[in-house]
Every structure is written in C-alpha cells, then in structure tokens.
Amino acid sequence: MLKKIKKDKKELMRAIKDEVVALKKSPLYKYRIENKNLPVIGQGSHDAKVMFIGEAPGKNEAQTGFPFCGASGKILDELLAYIGMDREKVYITNIVKDRPPLNRDPSPEEIKIYGPFLDRQIEIIEPKIIVGLGRYSMEYIMRKFGLESKLEPISKLHGQVFETTLPYGKVKIIILYHPAVAVYNSHTKNMLKKDFELLKKL
C-alpha cells in the first residue's frame, strides 16, 4: 500500500511537470524556449513534513531545472545545516515554475497561472509545515489559506508561526525572508539563522 502511495505521488508530480513543460499560455513560455531554459518544478521528498516555497527560479535554476541551486541556494543549504535539517528530506519549490526575464519579480498574472500547480504540490505532499520564503510567497500562502487578515509587511511577519487547517489536517505556516537577502546583505544572515531556529523547535 505504501509503495502504491509513493508511486501515485511520483506520477502526480510527473503530470504537473508535463503540464508546465507544455504551458504555452504562460507569458514566460516563449522566454524559456528562446533561452533554452528548463522549468523548475521542485526538489526533495514527496513525503516531506516541511515544504519551502520561494518565488520564482533564477538563472542557475533555469539552467539546471533544480530550485535554489545558485547563490540563494547556498545560503539556504547553510541555514538548513545550521538547524540540522537534511535538504533531501524537505521539499523545495517556487510559486512560479519558469524564470522571469532578468530575474525580475513575478507578475500577478504569472502567479495566477502557476499558483494552481503549487496548490496541487501541497495536496500531494501534505506537509505539516509550510515555509514561505519572501514577500510574494508570503502573500500567496497567507491569502490562499485564509490568513489575509493577518497580512503585514514581511519585516513584521518574518519569524512568526500561523496555524491553518487543510483537508488533510492542521498545518503550521512560517514566513521567512528569502535567502537572497543574505546574498546582498551579509548582516541579515544572523537574523535568518534566528528565524530558522523556529523550524528546529517545531
């Protein structure tokens, strides 16, 4: 039975990948093809208790097809190691699955197009803890799970824990700064470490 569930999860994730690969209605599809980029679906355990959600892939991610493998990924790896969390046992993805040109912020239209794929990933994995990395991820998650009344700037919400109930049970939502902040400002790394300690406690 367990083997069947794992197989089903793998097949459901593969279906998401196939749909994203063929997503011609996305304004990012043409840019992906022209630049020989890859869509970035996600990486990690399909049985993960913790799911990290970023905003959109960058250049390194679009070239490899793996999330958080560039400078931000190194910071994320460092933060996971700091709290003794194995990257292979968590699941890491983004809201938007294709790279926006010049690493610009994802547009509302792009978030609307790719959001349903993320929703399906959450349904497949059933994480107990969802970690939003960055303000776009924060806004999407908080609105999606009925927490919009608690929305404030990420400078106020980072490091806080919220609870919501999904069809499969109670889920904790944690909002954190995107690891990219430490790429541009090394002084923020200690703040990120402090926020990541929350995960260790949970």
135-172 burial, b at 16+ Cβ within 10 Å, e below that, comes to bbbbbbbbebbebeeeeeebeebbbeebeeeeeeeebb
Distances (CA, A) of 201 to 75, 100, 170, 191: 20, 35, 17, 16
| pLDDT top residue among 99 and 186 | 99
161 has pLDDT over 80: yes
The answer to whether the beta carbons of residues 93 and 52 sit under 8 Å apart is yes
Pairing of strands 50-54, 129-133: parallel
Residue at 92: amino acid letter: I
- Decide yes or no: CATH 3.40.470.10 for domain 2-201: yes
DSSP-assigned letter for residue 159: T
Query: Of 104, 86, 4, which Cα lies nearest the Cα of 43?
Result: 86
Q: Distance (Å, rounded) from C-alpha 23 to C-alpha 28?
A: 9
Question: What's residue 187's pLDDT?
Answer: 75
| Alpha-carbon torsion (13, 19, 25, 27), positive or negative | positive
The confidence score (pLDDT) of residue 199 equals 87
| Range with the poorest average pLDDT among 89-93, 101-105, 111-115, 140-144 | 101-105
What is the Cα–Cα distance from 68 to 87, expressed in whole angstroms?
A: 11
The pLDDT of residue 188: 84
What was the pLDDT predicted at 186?
73
7 pLDDT band, cuts 50/70/90, is confident
